């Protein structure tokens, strides 16, 4: 059975500064909350996502609507907010992960470790062993030292058997430090799994810079290029980037011969080191004869998403003397955007001639070239 995740985002985060709570502030192009939600929404074991919001934030446009999550109104305390989120999941999942929205760098490996521990324990939580010396202080001076052996810095997500932690929260009185305290008060064993130093909690303004530094270092940017050619044959139109353009001749090819879409598709495959169209849709297979090239492009876009990438931008150049591309370029961008599910502003379609040189200059066919950039989701 899949697990659920409760993302607690009802706090005010005043120590972080800014005009809005820290979870809604920007971090490397997205809000802190969106980074956190994406980490869980993209994990294959998470079947349901719950976002707990402060009642003042619900009518605003601050919180992200994607990835999709169940929206729940939080309570006056963190414990009350967690309980509200757990109540929504009751009966739908076996295990639940409870996570602070202000930890946007949670990794899939960390989620895996917590879920794996729940196979043997009713509770599991990540933590980092304390390695620094511990002092007591008074009046600005060191007043004593403490033994650090056996001490850990707690992190989230903290995972539990849903029924067990729900019953524990319902019975708990007071304001606990975290959900592990609630679990232990109910007699639940909680396993410690290895935490992650990068799984920092954004508390003050300086933490935004630290988190962004980690994110920038992790940017696995991929670039791919594509090139394709189709010769002219009989016909009364050409299909370019999904748009039917009237012309006295058509383009020849096994599919619909959309040289623009083929080129962009190959560029995406290239960025993924996944071969070309022929590898995924062999021309020897009769089912692809006359096929709509949007099938190929949609497959390449979905493959990129499955591997954790989104399309940063597409730049496609069509090379021909005729037909004229300019009057149709905006429509082509719109069609490509719809097929790939991205913004039109990330797509450029333009054209050039070869100054009457070569096969395109002799109007024997159309060539296309494209560059695609993929960035991590």
Range in 200-204, 268-272, 334-338 with the lowest mean pLDDT: 200-204
| pLDDT attached to residue 214 | 82
Taking residues 36-40, what's their average pLDDT? 94
- The predicted-structure confidence for 224-236, as pLDDT tens digits, reads as follows 999 999 999 999 9
**How does residue 50 score in pLDDT terms, banded at 50, 70 and 90?**
very high
Q: How far is CA 33 from CA 12, 114, 274, 313, in A?
A: 13, 21, 32, 24
The phi, psi pair for 129, rounded to 5°, reads -65, 140
Range in 12-21, 28-37, 174-183 with the lowest mean pLDDT: 12-21
| pLDDT attached to residue 213 | 82
| pLDDT attached to residue 24 | 92
Taking residues 106-127, what's their average pLDDT? 96
| pLDDT attached to residue 1 | 55
Cα distance between residue 359 and residue 59, in whole Å: 60
| pLDDT attached to residue 218 | 64
| pLDDT attached to residue 61 | 86
Which three-class secondary structure state does DSSP give residue 284? coil
Tokens of 79: 């414990």
Taking residues 144-163, what's their average pLDDT? 96
Helix runs in the chain, H state only: 32-41, 78-89, 108-117, 162-171, 179-185, 205-217, 259-271, 277-280, 294-306, 329-340, 358-361
Residue 141: DSSP 8-state? E
pLDDT at 199 over 70: yes
Give the residue from 204, 117, 193, 201 showing the smallest Cα distance to 161. Answer: 117
Which three-class secondary structure state does DSSP give residue 261? helix
pLDDT at 324 over 70: yes
Whether the pTM exceeds 0.75: the reply is no
Mean pLDDT of the chain: 93
Show the domains of the chain with their CATH numbers.
3-217 (3.90.550.10), 222-376 (3.30.1330.50)
Buried b (16+ CB within 10 A) or exposed e, 103-118: bbbbeeebbebbbebb
């Amino acid at each position: 059975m899949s697990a659920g995740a409760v993302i607690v985002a009802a706090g005010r985060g005043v120590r972080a500064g800014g005009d809005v709570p820290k979870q809604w502030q920007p971090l490397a192009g997205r809000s802190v909350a969106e980074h956190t939600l994406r980490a869980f929404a993209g994990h294959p074991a998470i079947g349901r996502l719950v976002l707990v919001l402060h009642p003042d934030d619900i009518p605003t446009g601050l919180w992200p609507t994607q990835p999709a999550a169940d929206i729940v109104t939080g309570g006056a305390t963190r414990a009350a907010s967690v309980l509200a989120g757990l109540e929504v999941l009751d009966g739908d999942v076996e295990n639940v992960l409870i996570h602070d929205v202000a930890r946007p760098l949670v990794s899939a490996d960390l989620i895996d470790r917590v879920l794996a521990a729940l196979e043997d324990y009713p509770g599991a939580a990540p933590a980092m062993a304390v390695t620094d010396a511990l002092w007591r202080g008074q009046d600005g001076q060191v007043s004593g030292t403490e033994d650090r052996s056996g001490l850990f810095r707690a992190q989230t997500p903290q995972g539990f058997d849903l029924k067990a932690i729900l019953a524990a929260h319902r019975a708990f009185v007071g304001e606990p430090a975290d959900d592990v305290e609630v679990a232990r008060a109910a007699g639940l064993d909680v396993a410690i799994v290895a935490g992650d130093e990068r799984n920092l909690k954004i508390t003050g303004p300086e933490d935004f810079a630290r988190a962004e530094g980690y994110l920038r270092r992790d940017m696995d940017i991929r670039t791919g290029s594509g090139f394709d050619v189709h010769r002219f044959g009989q016909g009364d139109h050409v299909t370019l980037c999904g748009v039917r353009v009237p012309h006295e001749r058509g383009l020849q090819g096994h599919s619909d011969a959309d040289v623009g879409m083929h080129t962009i598709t190959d560029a995406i495959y290239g960025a993924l080191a996944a071969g070309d169209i022929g590898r995924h849709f062999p021309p020897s297979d009769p089912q692809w004869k006359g096929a709509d090239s949007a099938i190929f492009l949609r497959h390449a876009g979905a493959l990129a998403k499955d591997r954790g990438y989104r399309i940063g931008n597409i730049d496609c150049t069509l090379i021909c003397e005729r037909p004229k591309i300019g009057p149709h370029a905006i429509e082509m961008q719109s069609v490509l955007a719809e097929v790939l599910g991205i913004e039109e502003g990330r797509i450029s379609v333009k054209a050039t001639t070869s100054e009457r040189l070569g096969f395109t200059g002799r109007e024997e066919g159309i060539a296309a070239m494209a560059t695609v950039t993929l960035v991590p989701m």
